[in-house]
Amino acid sequence: MPLDPQAAAFLARANDANPPDISEVPISETRAGLQAAKFMSGVREDVGQVTHTFIPGPTADLPIRIFTPKGSGPFNGLVYFHGGGWCVFFDELYEPQLRSLVNSTNSVVISVNYQKAPEHKFPIPFDDCYATLEWVFQNSEALNINQNKIGIAGDSAGGNLASAVALKVRDQGLRTLAYQLLIYPCNDRKFDYPSMLSNAVGYGLTSKGMEWLWEQYLNGDDDDQNPYAIPHVAKSYRNLPPTIIITAEYDVLHDDGAAYAQKLIVDNVPTIYRDYPGQIHGFFSYSEDIDEGKNLRKEFAQDINGILSAG
């Protein structure tokens, strides 16, 4: 399918100034620019309450935000891990999307500003995310969350973190996740997928940029066989929770996500795979400019609600 016209217009505006690749700019400059970014802005739906607090993490206190629905509960729970290549984004950029999830899934949504690479390489961001989920389970009663209806979600690098957290939850055998939502996850450190080549430049995230981001996150090749860093190398996916995987046609990560969905299906994990023709990496976050981002939110909310009602 041709590139979606709204996605094409978004890319044209983004490329007007001929910006350098993320790999060519100091991370400090990228982060500073994002502080004033409006490209991920959007309507902030009303919710019952928003709480900013800190929780203890393995190596530092972690800032989290808790979005609580209106009403009396108990509510569903959703722990969200934001994207940004493990390096550059922060959870405040996702407020419109998170508020939407609160209302569309009747969930208390908890987002964590995990510590960022390259200052804090693997496993620190992963450990922060796992610790946040464990904190939510331990405090589910105070949060007014039904402990049997807690899921996790993330986009891009956050999808990697969610995938890894789900694997560890399965391996530990102490908790049960209701579902995982993986939005164009980066779960494999391979650069020869067809989508890595055909979408290498011109569609936002580049294959060069993705390779550089992996280098910031990992400690060299030694991490390549660790499934909590590279979920694609896990020996088994059996007993993972019901999974929703999203991919975009014009995304370097398209084939990575599609291959991960297939691995879960082969191992009998209940899996909903949604591929969005004509779309680009990040369209979930660009829903003010790309209508399909709004449609995506509606569709995976329906998927989540279906899973929760069946559980």
Instruction: Check residue 43 and give its pLDDT.
Output: 84
Query: Total structural domains in the chain?
Result: 1
Instruction: Check residue 33 and give its pLDDT.
Output: 77
Instruction: Check residue 281 and give its pLDDT.
Output: 98
At 2, is the secondary structure helix, strand, or coil?
coil
Instruction: Check residue 115 and give its pLDDT.
Output: 98
Place of tokens 């297939």: 262
- pTM score > 0.95 for this model? yes
How far is it, in rounded angstroms, from Cα 241 to Cα 95? Answer: 26
Q: How many residues does the chain have?
A: 311
Locate all alpha helices (DSSP H) within 173-244, ordered by sequence: 194-198, 207-217
Burial class (CB in 10 A: 0-12, 13-18, 19+), 208: middle
Are 108 and 67 within 8 A, CB to CB?
yes
| Structural domain of 162 | 5-310
Instruction: Check residue 40 and give its pLDDT.
Output: 56
Instruction: Check residue 32 and give its pLDDT.
Output: 81
Return the bridge partners of 51, or none. 66
Instruction: Check residue 73 and give its pLDDT.
Output: 93
Instruction: Check residue 223 and give its pLDDT.
Output: 96
Instruction: Check residue 90 and give its pLDDT.
Output: 80
* Residue partners of 168: CB distance under 8 A and separation at least 6: 130, 228
Other Cβ atoms less than 10 A from the Cβ of 104: the count is 16
Instruction: Check residue 41 and give its pLDDT.
Output: 64
Instruction: Check residue 18 and give its pLDDT.
Output: 79
**Residue 122 belongs to a domain with what CATH number?**
3.40.50.1820
Instruction: Check residue 81 and give its pLDDT.
Output: 98
Instruction: Check residue 37 and give its pLDDT.
Output: 59
Over the chain (311 residues), the average pLDDT of each successive run of 10 is 96 87 89 65 90 98 98 98 93 90 99 97 99 99 98 99 99 98 99 98 97 96 96 99 99 99 99 99 94 97 98 73
> Residues with catalytic annotation?
156, 251, 281
Sheet with 145-155, edge to edge strand ranges: 49-56, 61-68, 107-112, 75-81, 145-155, 180-183, 243-250, 271-280
